[in-house]
Amino acid sequence: MATMQSLLEKDRERFLQTASAAKTSQETVRAAEEELSRLLTLYNEQEESDRIKEMAAAMVEAVRVSAGFLDCDGESTIWSKAEYRSPGQKPKRSVWFWILLVAGILLAVGAGAVLILFTDMVPPSQQMTIGLALAAAAMLALFLSGLVSSKKKEDNKADLYAETIPDAQKTYHILLAAAVSMDRTLNRVRSDEQLQNKQTLMDEKEGLKKEDIQLLSGLLEGAYSLGNDEYAKEVISDVKFYLHKKQIDVIDYNGENKNLFERMPGGKSGTIRPALVIGGTVLRKGLAAGE
C-alpha cells in the first residue's frame, strides 16, 4: 500500500514543474494546496478503513490550511530607483540647485571683480569688505547647492523595490516532511485499529462472531470443494474481501504452515478449508489434505 511519502515522491516532478512556474509566494502556496488535495485523493482511493480515511483527511486539511505559513521564499533582489531608470536618462536636478549654483558662481565672479577690477574706484577698506562679503556669499550659495543635490541623491536611494522568487525545492521538502509525519500518525492509527479489531473478535469469539467465522469458513470450504467453478471463484473472492476489511487473513496451505491446519490423510494434496488468522492469532484452523 502506497504511503503519503511515496505518493508525493512519485508526483515530485509534476509538483516541481508547477511550483517553479510560480512567481509569488501566494502562487506557490496555491500549488502546495492543490498538491495536498491530490495526495489525499490518491491515498483514500486505496484505503479501505473509514477511520483512517477520516484521519488522513483531517491531517491533510490541517496542513493545507496552514500552507500560507510555508517559508517558501527563495532568492530576493533589491532594486534602487536609479536602476529602474531607462538607459541614458540622467537624474533630474532640483530648481533650487540650479538657482544656488548660478548665484554662487555670480557672487564668486563679483568678488573677484571687486578685488581685481575695481581697485581704483573703491577705497581699499571697502574693497576688501565687499570682496570678502561676496566671496562668503558665493561659498554659502555653492554649499547650499551641494546640500540640495546630495539630499536628492539620498531620496533616490530610499526608493527601493524588492523582488522575491519562491524556492520550489524548499517547498517540496516542507511538504515531504509533512507527508512523513502524516504517515507515522496513520500507521499508529492503523495498528490501533487492527489491535482493536483483534480484541473485539477475541472477546466475542464465543458469541455471535464465532458463529460468523464458522459460517464464512464453511462457505470457503464449500467453494474450495467446487474447484475451478466460476461461481465458486466469485464466492471465494467476496468472502476474502469481506474478511480482509475485518483485518482477517485467509491463508492457504503451502506445506510450511502446518501449525495452522488440521490434516486429513490421503486424497489430493492441498487446501480443503483455508485458515483464518488475525494479527498472528488463529481464529479457526484450516483443513488440508495430503502428507
Mean pLDDT of 175-180: 85
DSSP label of 121 = T
State the Rg of the chain over Cα: 44
Taking 70 as the threshold, does the pLDDT of residue 91 lie above it? Answer: no
Distance of CA 73 to the CA centre of its chain: 12
Return all residues near 136 (Cβ < 8 A) that are at least 6 apart: none
Cα separations (Å) of 84 from 24, 81, 103, 155? 20, 5, 33, 14
| Bigger pLDDT: 217 vs 211 | 217
Please give the pLDDT value at position 2. Answer: 83
Q: Mean pLDDT for the chain?
A: 75
The answer on pLDDT for 52 being more than 80 is yes
**Span 99-110, average pLDDT:** 66
* Sign for the pseudo-dihedral over CA of 137, 140, 144, 146: positive
pLDDT value, residue 206: 45
**Average pLDDT for residues 18-43, to the nearest whole number?**
86
Q: What was the pLDDT predicted at 123?
A: 60
Query: Does residue 232 surpass a pLDDT of 80?
Result: yes
d(CA 56, CA 179): 10
Q: By CB neighbour count within 10 A (0-12 exposed, 13-18 middle, 19+ buried), where does 35 fall? A: buried
Domain edges within the chain: 4-72+167-197, 80-163, 204-289
- The mean pLDDT value for 23-49 works out to 85
For residue 116, give the C-alpha cell.
581685481
Average pLDDT over residues 61-72: 70
b/e sequence 114-134, b meaning 16+ C-beta within 10 Å: bbeeeeeebeeeebeebbeeb
Per-residue pLDDT at 27: 83
